[in-house]
Structure 1
Amino acid sequence: MKKYIYQLLMIAVLMSIAPGCKKSRLDLVDQSAYAYETYFNNITALNQATIASYATLLHPGLWAREYYYIFDLMGHDAKRASFLLGAEQELGDYSFGTNNANLSSLWGSLYRMIFRTNLVIDRAAAWNPTATVDRAKLNQYLAEVKFLRAYAYFHLVVLWGDVPLYTDYQTTLNNNYLPRTAAADVWKQIEKDLTEAQATAELPVVYPAAELGRATKGAVTALLGKVYLYQKKWAAAQTELEKLMGAPYTYKLDPSYDNVFSTTNQNTPENIFQIMNQQWTDWAIGSPYYMFGNGAEQVGKQTHSGRAMEYGFNDNWKNVYISNAAVKAFTYTHPATGLPYTDPRAKSTFYGTVATGGETVFCQQCPTGPKAYPFDAADPQGDYRWKKYEYYHLVEKYGDPKSPINGQVIRLADVMLMLAEAQIQQNNTGNAPLALIDSVRSRSGAFLYTSLGDKTNAMNILMRERQLELCGEQSRYFDLLRWGIIKQTINAEKAAEPGTGTQPFQDKHLLFPIPDAEKNYNPNVAKAVKNGWN
């Protein structure tokens, strides 16, 4: 009875509070709740927010699934098989419109990454840790999210041009209708983020094993060099990329080209930034959007994609072939003999015939021994299948879409070729770029050049090197676009493709269309769109 009397007295006291008392005095906030104002006030919470920013790399449009389709198909490294339908088919034949699901997902996930990184930056500014170790970790996390924000805006500005520039979390919350910012200013923000991240003393050059997969100072430097290269700031690009060739960095080409795309590539010395498989799963950031937007529980929230199964052939999904143009590129004229030469990287890139240089057997480590690749000579579209990023040397067939292979975002061979390009573009075709190109070639056993010739010839060699070395790594679309040769290249290759004979690339395709979802949401973006496209 006393308990109830006490409760009644408390109610009476509360009811008697003067009307002038502020309501906020009665609003008790649970300090342990997941609230914006109270949660991100310790280093553990800010680490969680940083890891959540990495997690967006696995969301729709990015590395969970669509990223490799978008850029392998549009760069014509890959071509559709009869099983590929819908939004992916539209990418391969350039018939997509403003409602293409893959491109819309790419846009949305890039901005989701930006939103999350802005949150980390905002909350870090509001918290002033007193412990030295916390301050050091906080600075590291800030550098990491600036790298990720730069990565997101790099894609947005290259692919869409003028885009809304959100750099402040509060602006994101209170004004979701920012107009498009000029591309030049977006590039400036990218450079700012990367130079600030690079200057952060607490950002490691290497991480302990438990933290592999986080952005390093080398990853920041590589992306900054790439950003300068894309803007034709050749000298600045050279300066940044050269930093990666020596101390404090210890990058080197993996002795085995195949290992870079295998189940054991997590610790390859060539890796600069990867989409990690097991490591990110251990961080508990496996994508809830895996593959088709569901089914994460079926695949253990794998942090890489189903690329192996989707690009696979033996009782797998067979969604794409390697394009005939890509296959043919591996055979070119040997400058010393004037005869056709087949590059040894062909055998690491695709399954094919002896004449094309492709791998002719698979399941080399299976208990029952190697098997002949099952060609279908009746297929008019060609029968060359992907070997890169596959693991048919270990298993005969997969059974589910898990991929245990990390995705390469930036690796040393790519950096070396970008550095050679920056040098060539400054009219240096001598020993420096020659050594870089030959180093990449020698790893796979390809012949070595003795001279690059003049600038035009040197660039032709460089372009082919990037096509062969990075085939199937979502690089060629970006390369053709920035070199200004994408329209004539894609149309010529498509016209020669068996069963195609079309020239689908139009001038409007130089930029992706602004997604319908964005136009319907943001009136300031919608009114700036021209011709219903971009």
Structure 2
Amino acid sequence: MKKIIYTLIVTLLAVGCNDDYLDLAPNGDMSEATFWKSEKDADLALTGCYRGWEGWSNILFFDGASDNGYEQYNYGAKKLGNGSLTPTDGTGTWTDGNSGKWFTYYRIRKYNDFLARIDNIEMDEAKKARYKAEVRFLRAYDYFNKVIHYGDMPLVTEVITDINKAALSRTPKEEVTKFIFDELDAIISGEALPIQNVIDSKGHVTKGAALALKARFKLYLGEYEKAQEAAAKVIDMSCYKLFQNGYDKLFLEESEGSNKEAILSIQFVPDKYNNIASLTCLPNSQGGWAALQASWDLVKAYESIDGTPFNEDKPFENKDPRLAMTILYPGAPYYGDYFDPFSGPDKSSAPINCPTRMPVRKYVEPYTDAWNQSGDFMVFRLAEMYLTFAECALYTGKDQDKALEYINMIRSRNSVDMPPKVNLTEEVVRNERRIELAFEGLRYFDIKRWDIGEEALNGPVLGTRLGSVDHTTGEVTWEGDRIIVEQRDFNPERNYLLPIPQSEIDLNPNITQNPGYN
């Protein structure tokens, strides 16, 4: 699959860094005599806009702040999940330069700069219109992340050249939200963006991506009728199909040339723009750090194949196959052996350990060079649209038979083959969403919009019991009580929002802190 080749051209985009005032004002522009003169310049500038538009660790690790997982090294999610996050804590990680940078405005600055300059370029008008629509989407997506993470955020839609005008106050989230949907509706109603899957678009934004973002945001806002309508339009696009060559392979690089389920992905290229997702999640025996762990609560969410009750002594047997394709559990077949977090190289001990004894398996195998992984990370995919449609149908009362059909299409995909559901209920929809989309960065915000934090983000995070693994059969002999890896304290006053970084408040007297962080 041909990808967008990301080349960061900071100097070409008037994005000289300045740490003051939301990094909105550039401190040095490249001369217009040497750039923004040709169609090739516009091509390069668009490439720069895609660089860092989203981070792989934001998708993978954010479930570590939810009841799905435990993120042991504080790569951005741990303190949010356990309630100890403060305004002086960072939300990013060195493993991914784009991690946790939702408050920063360097992306907004380059998007605004692109949109301000491209109209002056003589180039094919249809191509220009598409480029503008793509960047307007990227800007809308960035503001979407700002709103869901922080609430009120400064809304900036033009290039600010005077640093003295960059000390902005927070714009009410309702106004920012209106801007996002106005932008998306303009993109969707226009003809600039094609209807294509990721294979055909080669990683560019499409009309399906704009509708998918609208569906996700409307769902989060509880505007079910509009969310269902947007999701339906994506579902009706014939270019998207559920991937049928294995749920586990859906997230691996080997399937990128045949994966028509992907609506929009973060694109990676070996040696040029790579990621280290495998390295962060694999256990010590495979050279990894086991940074992200599944929780026992998530394990219990996976149904048994035949509907029998959960078996504490055989918790991983007779289970929805997605469990084994998402979680590396004790006794699981693994590289010609059986995974053993109780003894040998994967025994839980400092500095590399598996606290819950269940590292995340999704995304991370096989690989040839864990330091140079180039598998794409899906940001939107068709299964999410099916689940959005189904959840909305519960509350709108529209097309509930079709909604149940979509749930069962996900459950019956090749390699999953779970029995169909016969009733569309809130419990069915919420649980299916949880396990299908586990470790795709959505669970924390589902907890937020359902307002179940008191239940989901309070108390101990549990792992397995201790035990021993028979390396001939993989059978586990369990002993003792369940492992407690963390105690969480949910603070409802914070309304699930992140703190405004203290460094921003120190620099800008017009920025105020979110509730619960003073």
Name the TM-score, length of structure 1 as normaliser.
0.76
Distance 1:476 1:522, change over 3 A: same
Identify the residue that residue 365 of structure 2 maps to in structure 1. Answer: 391
Q: Is the 8 A contact 1:74 1:94 kept in 2?
A: no
Residue by residue over 1:489-520, the C-alpha shift from the partner in whole angstroms, topping out at 9 and shown as x without a partner, is 12156379732463312124411000112212
Say whether 1:318 aligns with 2:290: yes
- Alpha-carbon contact 1:310-1:401 (below 8 Å) kept: no
* Identical pairs, percent: 26
CA distance in 2, matches of 1:122, 1:483: 39
Q: Partner letter of residue 400 of structure 2? A: G
1:425 paired residue number = 395
Q: How does 1:161-176 map to 2 (within 5 A)?
A: 161-170=151-160, 175-176=165-166
Q: Choose the corresponding residue for 2:89, options 82, 89, 100.
A: 100
- Report the counterpart of residue 467 of structure 2 in structure 1: none
1:171-220 alpha-carbon deviations (Å, 9 max, x no partner): 78662112111111111011011112223312122389696111111111
Closer, same or farther: CA 324–463 of 1 in aligned 2, 3 Å: same
Match of 2:67 among 72, 76, 85: 76
Q: Greater helix share, 1 or 2?
A: 1
Q: What amino acid does structure 2 have at the position aligned with 1:137? A: K
SS at match of 1:253: coil
1:464-475 maps to which residues of 2 (within 5 A)? 464-475=431-442
**Residues 429/216 of structure 1: CA separation in 2 closer, same or farther (3 Å cut):** closer
- In the alignment, is residue 39 of structure 1 matched against residue 1 of structure 2? no
What pairs up with 1:270-349 in 2 under 5 angstroms? 270-278=261-269, 300-303=271-274, 305-313=275-283, 314=285, 315-331=287-303, 342-349=319-326
1:113 aligns to what?
107
Q: Is contact 1:66-1:102 (8 Å) kept?
A: no
In the superposition, the TM-score normalised over structure 2's length comes to 0.78
Shift of 1:361: 1.4
Q: Please tell me whether the aligned partners of residues 66 and 444 of structure 2 are also in contact (alpha carbons under 8 angstroms).
A: yes
Paired residue for 1:447?
419
Q: Say whether 1:124 aligns with 2:109.
A: no
| In structure 1, C-alpha distance between the alignment counterparts of 2:485 and 2:387, rounded to whole Å | 32
Q: 1:375 maps to which residue? A: 341
Change in 2 beyond 3 A, CA 1:209/1:252: closer
Q: Deviations over 1:282-309 (max 9, x none)?
A: xxxxxxxxxxxxxxxxxx2333x21211
Post-superposition shift, 1:533? Answer: 2.6
Q: Give the Å deviation of 1:98.
A: 0.7
Q: Which residue of 1 aligns with 2:240?
A: 251
Q: Secondary structure at the match of 1:494?
A: strand
Tell me by how many angstroms 1:461 deviates.
Answer: 0.9
Structure number with greater Rg is 1
The size of the alignment, in residue pairs, is 446
| Partner SS, residue 209 of structure 2 | helix
Provide the aligned C-alpha RMSD in A: 2.9
Distance (Å, rounded) in 2 between the aligned partners of 1:258 and 1:390: 10
Q: In the alignment, residue 308 of structure 1 is paired with which amino acid? A: S
Letter aligned with residue 514 of structure 1: I
Provide the rounded CA distance (Å) in 1 between the counterparts of 2:239 and 2:205: 15
* 2:371 aligned to which of 385, 401, 406: 401
- Tell me, yes or no, if the aligned pair for 1:103 and 1:515 is still in contact at 8 Å: no
What is the alpha-carbon distance in structure 1 between the residues aligned to residue 498 and residue 426 of structure 2? 27
SS in structure 1 at match of 2:30: coil
Cα distance, 1:110–1:215 mapped onto 2, change above 3 Å: farther
- Aligned CA distance change for structure 1 residues 171 and 185 (closer, same or farther; 3 Å): farther
Superposed CA deviations along residues 322-354 of structure 1, whole A, max 9, x for unmatched, are 22222222146966x667762111111112246
Give distance in 2, aligned partners of 1:168 and 1:334.
Answer: 58
Gaps of 5+ in 1: 1-32, 282-299, 355-359, 364-369, 453-457
| d(CA) in 2 for partners of 1:418, 1:36 | 46
